[in-house]
Each structure stands twice: as structure tokens, then as C-alpha cells.
Amino acid sequence: MSRKRQSRGICSYCGREIAKGGMRRHLMACPERQAVIAAAEQGPGRTETLFHLQVEDAWRGDYWLHLEMRGSATLDTLDRYLRAIWLECCGHLSRFSIRGWGSPDIPMSRRAKEVFAPGRTFIHQYDFGTTSETRIKVLSSRQGKPTTGHPIALMARNVPPEIPCIECGRPARWLCVECLVVEGVFGALCDEHATTHPHKEYGEPLPLVNSPRMGMCGYRGPAEPPY
Ligand SMILES: [Zn+2]
Ligand SMILES: [Zn+2]
Ligand SMILES: [Zn+2]
Ligand SMILES: [Zn+2]
């Protein structure tokens, strides 16, 4: 077992940094989140089933999100959200299923409340060549009014994992595409080595962004939520 430091993330409501394993419990207790929920209940929205989803890259789980999704929203809405925050490079195909390859597609037109239930897990796959695989765990559901005007609310997100520079081991902020394409190495570089690194064939190093798709296909970020 490696003694890798547990991934950490930021609660969108209070801004606190919490270990991955404690975020679910934190969100249930977070006073700032409770205040947002209470305010929404006083507002004009319609009560419906809201799902608490934990979303993570299926590879290492270093990239993760806690989302609250309206039961009336379709899987297509979640697909578009994941593309915006993590995945979109060249408009590849994507699919939801229970177990990934070999298990049947769940149509994008299905509503969350038709397929989600606490305890269920789903796999989202983006790009059927260089596939990004995302695991979606339905942690819980509640009856309430949505806390935002959007179908999905971002409740928490991982802090970017520290990636060491391939030349000196200090924290990297850049990625050399030539290292990736020509040498098959994840060419992470610190500020200093981004300027002295010899590879220029594929242009200047790209900024590292908070996405599990970095280094795959033509992905360039920006890894920002759509709303
Ligand atoms: Zn909080
Ligand atoms: Zn692509
Ligand atoms: Zn360096
Ligand atoms: Zn390089």
C-alpha cells in the first residue's frame, strides 16, 4: 500500500478544504449549505427529488466532484456537465451504463429519477478510442427545492493533485505535449523547467488543469464548470 496523501477538496458552500473521505459527511452537516437549503425552501422553486452524486475518474479517483442533480434533469444534462468541467476535446461520443463496456447503454434521454437511487453506481465513458471513464455513485437523495436555477449544483471539487516535475520533482504546472506524443511520458514541468525543457516540436507546454483528461487526445482544458 502506498502512503499517498488522501486527495482533498473544497466545499463550495463554506470554502473549507476537506479530505475526500470526509466530504460526504461534511456536506450533510455544513452550516453554510444548510442555510442555502433553508433559503431555497422559502423560495418559489418546485419540490422534487434531488440526488447527491459523487463523481470521480475511474482510474485513480484523484479527480472528484460532489454534485446535486435534479431528478427531473436528463442524463444528457449530466453528460454535458461532465464534458464542460472535465472532458470535452473534439466532440467525441459518450455513453452511460452500469458497468462500462459490455453493459448496455442507458439512453441519454432518461431522467435522473428514472435511473438513480441511493447506492447505485454508473459508468460514464467519453471517447470510445482514448476513453475517459468516470464513476458516478448515487450517495443519497432528498425531497426539496433546488438550491440553484440550474439542473446541477457543484457542491465540492478536488484540489488539483500535486504532480511532480519530470526533471526536478518540484510541483509541476505545465505539460509537454511532445513528451506525451513522442515518448509516451506524462511530461509534467515546473515553472523553471517549462522554460528550459528542450521540446518545442508540439509548441509551448500547456498549463496543467484540474481534469482527469489531461494528456489524452487533444484535451486542452479549461476544466471549468459550465455554471
Ligand atoms: Zn462546507
Ligand atoms: Zn479528442
Ligand atoms: Zn522542474
Ligand atoms: Zn518534453
Domains of the chain: 8-158 (3.10.290.30), 162-216 (no CATH)
CB 23 within 8 A of CB 9: yes
CA of 153 to the centre of ligand 1 (A): 14
CA of 123 to the centre of ligand 2 (A): 19
CB 163 within 8 A of CB 171: yes
Any idea which ligand is nearest the CA of 30?
1
Instruction: Report the first-to-last Cα separation within the chain, whole angstroms.
Output: 38
CA of 25 to the centre of ligand 1 (A): 10
CB 151 within 8 A of CB 70: yes
CA of 184 to the centre of ligand 2 (A): 17
Instruction: Using 70 as the pLDDT threshold, list the residues of the chain that sit under it.
Output: 1-4
Q: Please report the pLDDT score of residue 4 as a whole number.
A: 61
Tally the residues of the chain. Answer: 227
Q: What is the pLDDT of residues 33-63, one digit of tens each?
A: 999 999 999 999 899 999 999 999 999 899 9
CA atoms of 129 and 216, how far apart (whole Å):
10
Any idea which ligand is nearest the CA of 205?
4
Q: Please report the pLDDT score of residue 1 as a whole number.
A: 42
Any idea which ligand is nearest the CA of 89?
2
Any idea which ligand is nearest the CA of 220?
2
Any idea which ligand is nearest the CA of 204?
4
Query: DSSP string covering 1-57, please?
Result: ---PPPPEEEETTT--EEEGGGHHHHHHH-HHHHHHHHHHHHSSPPPEEEEEEEEEE
- Give the torsion through C-alpha atoms of 67, 157, 80, 87, to 10 deg: -150
At 168, is the secondary structure helix, strand, or coil?
Answer: coil
